Chains A and B, each alone.
Chain A
């Protein structure tokens, strides 16, 4: 699947992840047709399988589905924090000419960590997953910079202040305890941290879930502004079609760990083809 095949940054091909030993019946007894992702024979959970997509330059791809559909697993596979059982995940640097694509799943752990730090930024649904609540806000933003080899406190603080301004946080609160920040502000801190290394891909995992509507709107406005200003590729995971509609140009719909539909977001929302997608769209409040 590719609408942007000439300029993709990230290409996933048949990604799969299972939890359990597996058996010959796993693939035939799970998936949307059986309305389950757990094998009835061996009990293995097929968290996701056959996941393929391209993420183009400066594009935002949405992944939507209900709880347990495999959205977060796909996000973990792309973030290289959870190993895939099968499949390939290719990355191509668009900054350098003639750069050969690299299969991220073939990298060793050390190289994966370096790649994750430099080229990926992730914003989690729960701030405590993305932030160390024992460090100050500035320390959290500084972490990726320090990991990338920055060794000048003055320059680190300067960069952290710029990022806080970019995400509409007061730089005067750089040295504050994150416990004193609201939920929406903590999401902004996570975004600041994610952007600190100028990543090629930003991963957003249910970023507005749990926030009240006005705060949701402000966070979404911020992300849209960053899309426009930074022209960064984004992968947005959400169960909320409203979020997907606002952010994503193309969307993948997941059910029971498998892709049931993909295409332009407008097309999916206006003219859903799969019964599950129709159900999702019709159940939107």
Chain B
């Protein structure tokens, strides 16, 4: 059966490969593909509204409508939603993961935010207006005009002692924090000291018990009376909380077992020599035996353990100055 010319033309139009798009067309398409900051304006408004509530009630867990993002939940979607809801075109962004600007998570999130906002990005803490971080507070003191956004895997510190969300919400409402104290008492009995290495529980403004994310204990004192606004987002658990500037933040401690940070005397960064930063331990492999090795093998092993600053940008900055 012969097809009419108009139908043939239509089929050709539908089945023919599309014309090669020019690069400017592609850019235009990419520009219009996403809203500024990927999520829609209503969702941003929802996040901002909940952020205001979180700031008004320091340390209080505020439920929010966590949106789906092209990042798996548990990989920083809470912090990402806060950042995307807050950024303006003139902001400068820094993204770190465990203090490192170049780790996979930091690079991916930075690339995603940059692609959907076209923001200026930096690795210098002092240049950034918004710092999104996973589990570290930058070494350089942040100012009043900066915001630190933290990605949170487990928002409620009572989860350690109370599996029921309903019950733990009641406990927060009534400031019933005895079970977490018993948990700490038990850790002293079990190991001779409070054995909470990260995610150390703190009291905010002497009212709400708050999780400090898996940040090391070293970072806990930085939260007290800080000039900077700290915003915490847990995308998977759909909770937001905040520490407004100049808030009192006190770690839980016993009179005879006071709060201590991890730093030990004598430890120094292998690169910059710093003794006053949070250090992580790395194994340095010995280089080849052609005489160019900067580190010789010690004690018959092929390498050695060394400490380095966790905050890589600060370490590099110090190294340049030195």
Contacts and interface: CB of A to CB of B under 8 A. Distances in A.
Task: Note whether A and B form a binding pair.
Answer: yes
A132 B189 CA distance: 16
B186 A153 contact: no
Given A151-B255, A152-B254, A154-B256, A135 B186 contact: yes
Contacts of A154: 256
A135 B182 contact: yes
B282 to A, nearest CB: 35
B257 interface: yes
B256 A152 contact: yes
B187 to A, nearest CB: 10
A146 B174 contact: no
B179 interface: yes
A154 B181 CA distance: 14
B179 A132 contact: yes
A274 B272 CA distance: 89
Contacts of B255: 151-152
Contact of A113 (B176, B179, B181, B189): B176
Interface in A108-158: 109-110, 113, 117, 132, 135-136, 138-140, 142-144, 146-147, 151-154, 156
A243 B229 CA distance: 61
B257 A113 contact: no
Nearest to B255: A152
A109 B189 CA distance: 32
A175 interface: yes
Contacts of A153: 185, 188-189, 254, 256-257
Specify which of A109, A143, A146 lies most central, judged by the most chain B CB atoms within 10 Å of its CB. A146
B175 interface: yes
Contact of B178 (A136, A138, A143, A175): A143
B69 interface: no
B96 to A, nearest CB: 35
A117 B188 CA distance: 24
B71 interface: no
B165 interface: no
A144 B178 contact: yes
Interface string B100-125: 00000000000000000000000000
Interface residues of A, number: 21
B173 interface: yes
Nearest to B257: A153
Nearest to B188: A153
A156 B255 CA distance: 11
Interface in B232-284: 253-257
A109 B169 CA distance: 13
B166 to A, nearest CB: 14
Interface in A184-207: none
Contacts of B175: 110
Contacts of B189: 136, 138-139, 153, 175
B90 to A, nearest CB: 45
Contacts of B186: 135-136, 139
Interface string B181-204: 110011011000000000000000
Interface in B46-90: none
Contacts of B174: 109-110, 113
B208 to A, nearest CB: 13
Contacts of A146: 178, 181-182, 185
Contacts of B185: 138-139, 142, 146, 153, 156
A142 B182 contact: yes
A109 B174 CA distance: 7
A107 to B, nearest CB: 12
Contacts of B254: 151-153
Contacts of A147: 176, 178, 181
21 contacts: A109-B173, A113-B176, A132-B182, A135-B182, A135-B186, A139-B186, A142-B182, A143-B178, A143-B181, A143-B182, A144-B178, A146-B182, A147-B176, A147-B181, A151-B253, A151-B254, A153-B188, A153-B189, A153-B254, A153-B257, A156-B185
Cβ-closest 10 pairs across A and B: A147-B178, A146-B181, A152-B255, A139-B182, A113-B174, A139-B186, A146-B178, A153-B254, A143-B178, A143-B182
Given A143-B182, A147-B176, A147-B178, 17 more contacts: A109-B173, A110-B175, A113-B176, A136-B189, A138-B185, A138-B189, A139-B182, A139-B185, A142-B182, A143-B181, A146-B178, A146-B182, A151-B253, A153-B188, A153-B254, A153-B257, A175-B189
